[in-house]
Amino acid sequence: MSTSSAHRYSAKARWFHWSMAALVVLAYGLILSRVEFGKSSPVRAFVVHSHFWTGLLVLGMAFFRIAERRRHTPPPITPPLQTALRRAATLTHYALYAFLFVQPILGLSAVVIETGALPIPLTDLQIPSPFPTSDRLAEKFEDLHKLLASIFYWVIGLHGIAALWHHLVRKDDTLKRML
Ligand code: HEM
Ligand code: HEM
């Protein structure tokens, strides 16, 4: 059964959702795969720098996504959710939106405060930072960045499982609204 456009997220919202979900997975995949390459190999540098820029693309897109979200209220779920479930979903969505901003900002802060510049992949070029460098502060940002990444494996995982639960167990249109 198809879901009419009045019962789905806007086309832009769906595009943002799935392309940004793919970019977040790519950002995780790139940085986790870096250990496969030699410490100072150019491939490892490329993989790590691509992680930075994938995350920055997420940050850039997040601003446009929020603007789109403010223009269109999501369609209601049929059958409607109980209050507790609706509140839990809203809270998770706030957390996911916050992650899309805070996670790249923490990573960017760690890099520019440690090295004083942001490297451009496949080149020797760097974008200089106006901020003073500090190893101690950079380490704090990096620790927070890694901690948040670990927490959000769970949040993102549960979010995906919840979507499947709605579709397969509760048999409502939550997932169809996002397809
Ligand atoms: C969606 C956005 C992002 C996600 C999901 C993400 C995820 C991660 C994860 C999972 C790690 C830890 C890997 C590990 O412990 O083995 C990590 C490390 C790191 N990330 Fe990100 N990140 C994002 C954006 C960024 C951005 C925008 C930058 C910088 C411009 C950045 C810089 C770093 C740095 C410097 C590390 C430490 C790398 C190392 O220890 O060698 N991240 N990130
Ligand atoms: C595992 C794959 C994923 C699936 C199956 C999925 C599915 C869904 C579904 C069905 C909705 C609509 C929920 C509702 O209206 O109650 C939704 C909303 C949302 N998803 Fe995902 N998602 C996935 C991955 C992600 C990722 C990786 C992120 C970002 C880190 C994300 C961020 C969001 C946000 C912020 C919303 C709220 C949209 C709004 O109402 O404004 N999702 N997702």
pLDDT tens digits for 7-26? 999 999 999 999 999 999 99
Confidence of residue 1 (pLDDT cuts 50, 70, 90): very low
The pLDDT of residue 6: 77
pLDDT tens digits for 77-97? 999 999 999 999 999 999 999
CATH code of residue 109: 1.20.950
Domain count, the chain: 1
Range of the domain at 29: 5-178
**Ligand 1 pocket, residues with Cβ under 6 angstroms:** 24, 27-28, 31-32, 51-52, 55-56, 58, 103-104, 107-108, 110-111, 142, 145-146, 149
Tell me the C-alpha to C-alpha distance, in Å, between residue 45 and each of 42, 53, 105. Answer: 5, 12, 20
Of 173, 123, 112, the closest CA to residue 145 belongs to 112
Atom of ligand 2 nearest to the CA of 179: 10
